[in-house]
Chain A
Amino acid sequence: MRYAETGFNLEIDLTRGNIERVATDPRDTELYLGGLGTNAKILWDRVPPEIESFSPDNLLIFAAGLLCGTPATGCNRTIVSTISPQTLLMVYSMMGGFWAPELKYAGYDTVIFRGKSPTLVYLWINNDKVEIRDAAHLQGKGAIETAELIKEELKEPKAQVAAIGLAGENRVYYASIEQGRSSASRGGIGAVMGDKGLKAIVVRGTKDVNIARPAEYLELCNEVLEHIKARDGNPIPGVMPILAGLGSPQEMAVHDEKWHTENFMWGNSRTRIRDFWTEEIAKAWMETLESARTRLISCYNCPMKCGATLSLPGLPTYMMKCFSKLTYTLAAYSDLDFGLKIAQRATEYGVDGYSAPQVMAFALELYENGILTDKDFEGMPSDNEGRFYWLLDRIVRREGIGDVLANGTYWAAQEIGNGAESYAHNNIKKHEQLPLKLSMLNPMYFLMYATGEKINITQIEGNFPQAPFPTREEREEFVKDWIQVPDEKFKQYFLDWELRGENSIPYYPTVEMCCEIVDWQEMMHYIDDALGMCAGLSSFPLKPPYHIHNYPKFISSGAGIDMDEAKLTQAAKRYRTLVRAINIRRGMRRKDDKPPEDHWKKRFPELEAELLDKYYKFKGWNNQGIPTRESLHDLGLDYVSKDFIQRGILTDGEDTPSKETSAEKKNEV
């Protein structure tokens, strides 16, 4: 018997309409755990670099993390992986909600799509009965609307639905996959789903998920619940409120947006508005949120209430979480009422709440600067908010200028030319980022932004505080119950970290310390993304209930896989390296490992070069960021180095790169 996992994947060939239930190899679970780890293995094995995002041979993989569907609190994430049309690299966007546990109860760990359906279809997974159904009547329907219609036509109110809206159908490069209160938004995975002719995946399951050593597992779960309860009443002192508690940033609960509105950039990530947050605005925004919000809501088996149900007058009800609350508001220099209203339409269309507003602000900037002209915006209303609605409608339908903008700021700028490139200024690896511009380089964030293959500057940080605490007493207090550190030395790093002077940013933490801190934080994210754990209870907040010391026990007693800290660290390193290998094989190199040029005002080129050099080395990568033969061998990834040598990425005998493949090629659309 398999524990925690079901041991079966679904293989769906959309071209032929073929469905297969395939037993998986338990040894793969031991090596790659599940979720992101096994997705990376499948993509490496089956999607060579010649395969483009919109090729029928590209795979779209929906995985429930290894521990999803077990009683582990907060373990409910679906990890969606494919090749991104925007970055041309591997993308793994994730969503919470209820879909992944339901898939486990239906008897599957992963659903793998290949091919393309000639007509729009949806997949209906009902325990052992799996069928591809016609979705012609759902064409053009909103993502949330689609979910409701399908549940009704199947008479299955308990089914969980992941669906795309118009944006996905029209292959918008930042189309999302929506699942009621959650969405997997980043990297254009919704476009791949649309390209495959797949409108929705509907799942209902009523089978058991088994636990290897039940009593031990439940005790671990109870400890986690106790930890959450204890933290609830004891926010961490000395950090801003959104960092003091557990969960995703509690955007649906908080009214005080002084910090975001005055520190984040408005428009196309351009303007900082100091003194924005007046009493009058605070009052108006509070009224907006209070009247729109009917309830704070959670994902499956989690007490954190990171989401909310929102009902605005005259608009269908929808659900939201986290920072989409403000992205449209900031992009349009508008107010919360506008932000929440346009987000309703954007959710139905199914677009990423970070990229979409930025693309629209980018378009208007090009217009103001004469790079785009009246001709491009024929019929656009003159009022500010109206322009955003107009642009959104054009983009998701790929009409006129919308067709260009639907490819995101990087590709749109390439196509528009005439200096437009410099307006696509807030990207990492061609992907739009949170509108954040700061003054002094932070060496740890530099490494995370440059090398993180989530390609997303939100929620990659985590367990190490973002800034030093002012006094030694406060720091000593903080480290007292800091049980999550993998090694005691991290406490010392933090104790010695000062706001000013020798031991301050950017030269302290030292390059070596930065490597260790960033590696630790990244490892925790990779573990979460394989287990299906929400980062909000693990890798993202300070002092979370899940950490490197109790995770091996969860895996041992839950999945019945013999696991300890060393073995888990090694496994996470293995599939993390495999993600990099997939991208290296697609042409990613050191030149791509960089934050947005203007992310910090004060840059330190020499220090940055040293950071990359040492971090690459620390990770077992060569000077181009390519995993070396030796490190691949240590991780049991000799098949990767063999492929690298065959392709001339590594040469036989030494670890220098020879020829490069190109990640710069324009996609066909």
Chain B
Amino acid sequence: MKDEKKTKIIKTIKIDVDKCNGCRACEVICSAFHAAPKYSSNNPARSRIRVIHDPLKDVYVPIYAGEYAVAECAGRDKYTIDGKEYDECAFCRASCPSRDLFKEPDSDLPLKCDMCEDEEEPLCVKWCITDALTYEEREEEVEEEEEEQEEMEIGLEALADKYGLDKIMDTVARMSMKG
């Protein structure tokens, strides 16, 4: 029997910076949707999408909150695209110590985009009627996926890297004898 290739849905928000009009409706609706109860308040500072903008330099980059980073980058690069200079942070999704983006203003806890789970499409996309943000779902073939590791397994793997598997097995055996 022939192996069936596995596929998974990749959710993609396509960002066309040329179409962004800088209105920040995406920030409004994102922060409203994630308020508790839903829509009970809004506050762009809590939004998981921010428009990095510098109107006089014509810089408009909508950017989504990604993973939390414990440390900031060692240096900063600058990109020049079509004659406009961008700080590399303009394209970085991390909630990181170098900036106030993607942190709860009260607690400083990191925020991360969840693509508005349960909604038809992310609400920032729905509210961006200038189409700077569009949503696409596509199926992608993936390599035979490894069984998802359980939490303990991940921990054990790290220990095995450090002490070697034999040592761990000895230790486990010893501990169970004691038990």
Contact = CB atoms under 8 A, between A and B. Distances in A.
Interface of A: 69-71, 73, 98, 105, 144, 148, 157, 180-181, 205-211, 214-215, 217-218, 225, 228-229, 232, 294-303, 305, 309, 316-319
A343 to B, nearest CB: 15
B41 interface: yes
A319 B56 CA distance: 8
Contact of B32 (A71, A98, A105): A71
A297 B55 contact: yes
Contacts of B24: 98, 300-301
Interface string B13-55: 0000000011111001100100101111111111000000011
A297 B21 contact: yes
Contacts of A317: 56-58
A300 B60 CA distance: 14
A299 B23 contact: yes
Contacts of B129: 225, 228-229, 232, 303
Contact of A302 (B25, B38, B44, B54): B25
B23 A180 contact: no
Contact of A309 (B42, B56, B127, B128): B56
A209 B43 contact: yes
B54 A209 contact: no
A210 B56 contact: no
A298 B55 contact: no
Contact of A225 (B22, B56, B127): B127
B128 to A, nearest CB: 8
Given A298-B21, A301-B24, A309 B58 contact: yes
Interface of B: 21-25, 28-29, 32, 35, 37-46, 54-58, 60, 105, 127-130
B54 A157 contact: yes
Contacts of B46: 208
A303 B130 contact: yes
Given A208-B42, A309-B55, A319-B55, A302 B23 contact: yes
A242 to B, nearest CB: 19
A312 to B, nearest CB: 13
Contacts of B42: 69-71, 208-209, 211
Contacts of A301: 23-25, 28
Contacts of A295: 21, 58, 60
A350 to B, nearest CB: 16
A294 B58 contact: yes
Given A208-B42, A225-B129, A303-B130, 7 more contacts: A69-B42, A71-B29, A206-B45, A295-B21, A300-B24, A309-B58, A318-B56
B122 to A, nearest CB: 15
Nearest to A302: B23
A210 B46 CA distance: 13
B38 A71 contact: no
A318 B105 CA distance: 32
Nearest to A295: B58
A181 B55 CA distance: 9
Given A302-B23, A309-B56, A211 B127 contact: no
Nearest to B128: A303
18 contacts: A71-B29, A209-B42, A211-B39, A211-B40, A211-B41, A211-B42, A215-B38, A215-B39, A217-B39, A225-B129, A232-B129, A295-B60, A297-B22, A298-B22, A301-B25, A301-B28, A305-B21, A319-B55
B23 A206 contact: no
A210 B41 contact: yes
Contacts of A218: 32, 39
Contacts of A69: 42
Contacts of A211: 32, 39-42
Nearest to A69: B42
Contacts of B58: 294-295, 309, 317
A298 B19 CA distance: 11
B43 A208 contact: yes
A215 B56 CA distance: 37
A105 B130 contact: no
Nearest to A72: B28
Contacts of A228: 129
Contacts of A305: 21, 130
Nearest to B101: A158
The 8 closest A-B pairs by CB, nearest first: A214-B39, A206-B45, A208-B41, A298-B23, A298-B21, A206-B105, A208-B43, A214-B40
A73 B25 contact: yes
B61 to A, nearest CB: 13
Among B38, B43, B130, the most chain A Cβ lie within 10 Å of the Cβ of B43
A207 B40 contact: no
Contacts of B56: 144, 148, 309, 316-319
B66 to A, nearest CB: 20
Contacts of B55: 180-181, 297, 309, 319
Nearest to B43: A208
A214 B28 contact: no
B39 A206 contact: no
Contacts of B105: 206-207
Contacts of A180: 55
Contacts of B45: 105, 205-207
Contact of B23 (A70, A208, A300, A316): A300
